[in-house]
Amino acid sequence: MSVIANNAAVKNAQAFEPLIVAFCCNWCSYAGADLAGTSRLNYPANIKIIRVPCSCRVNANFVLRAFQRGADGVIIAGCHPGDCHYMTGNYYTRRRFSLLKNLLAYVGIEEARFKVDWISASEGNKFADVMNGVLEKVHKLGPNRKLRDSRWRR
């Protein structure tokens, strides 16, 4: 590959501003995101958070819709196993989305674009780390083309 082409690729990668949708449960991860804020931690503005009461409220449809509408990555964050505010909700999340992960792999969406993680209300640091980690990987992968609805303009 020529140097010029390589430079162009770098430029493209810089111009690419990924969009990541994060579903956060109200009791742990949303509070963890608040803590990241009050601790003035830094993560890129490409991550946008949607509040849900529990991670088990997240329907696989929501994830697919986000990819359809042009999201480059989706994160679901809930309480640590055993700490769910609703006792068992995050266990359902874990099962449901390990299935969805297989489906996403089957339709050709790279594994790194979708992540389910457990972030407690006291883990502001972890929140920022997880967000930065996913963003970094998505940045390398480039824009998501699979599943995208061509009629939708971002």
Partner 1 sequence: MQRVGVFICWCGTNISSTVNIDEVVAAVKNMPGVVYSKDYQYMCSEVGQNLVKDAIKEHNLTRVVVAACSPRMHESTFRKAAKAAGLNPYLLEIANIREHCSWVHKDKKAATQKAISLTKAAVAKAILNQPLIPGEVGVEQRALVIGGGIAGIQTALDIADAGYEVDLVEKTPSIGGKMAQLDKTFPTLDCSACILTPKMVDASMHDKINIYSYSEVEEVNGFVGNFEVVIKQKARSIDMEKCTGCGICLAKCPAKTALSEFEEGLSKRAAIYTPFPQAVPNVPVIDRETCTKFRTGKCGVCAKVCPTGAIDYEQKDERLNQKYGAIIVTTGYDLINLDSFGEYQYADHPDVITGLEFERLVNAAGPTAGKLVRPSDKKKPKKVVFIQCVGSRDKSERGKSYCSKICCMYTAKHAMLLRDKYPDCEAYVFYIDVRTAGKGFEEFQRRAVENYGVNYIKGMVGKIFPTGDKLKVNGVDALSGEVLEIDADMVVLASATQAKPGASDVGRMLSISTDRDNFFTEAHPKLRPVETHCAGIYLAGACQGPKDIPETVAQASAAAAKAIGILSKSKLVNNPCVSQVDESVCSGCLACTKMCPYEAITEKMVEQKVHGKIRRRRVAEVNAALCQGCGGCTVTCRPGAIDLKGFSNKQILAEVDAICQ
Question: Is 142 among the residues that bind partner 1 (CB under 8 A)?
Answer: no
The footprint of partner 1 on residues 105-134 (CB under 8 A) is 128
- Rounded to a whole number of angstroms, the CA Rg of the chain reads 16
Q: CA 8 to CA 121: how far, in whole Å?
A: 42
Question: Is 53 among the residues that bind partner 1 (CB under 8 A)?
Answer: yes
Residue found under tokens 């989706």: 74
Residue found under tokens 């964050």: 77
Question: Is 103 among the residues that bind partner 1 (CB under 8 A)?
Answer: no
Contact pattern for partner 1 over residues 56 through 75, marking x by CB under 8 A: xxxxxxx--xx--xxx----
Question: 124-141 and 29-38 helices cross at what angle (nearest 10)?
Answer: 100
Q: What type of residue is 18?
A: P
Q: Applying CB under 8 A, which residues contact partner 1? A: 19, 21, 26-27, 30-31, 33-34, 36-38, 40-46, 48-54, 56-62, 65-66, 69-71, 82-83, 85-89, 92, 96, 128, 152-154
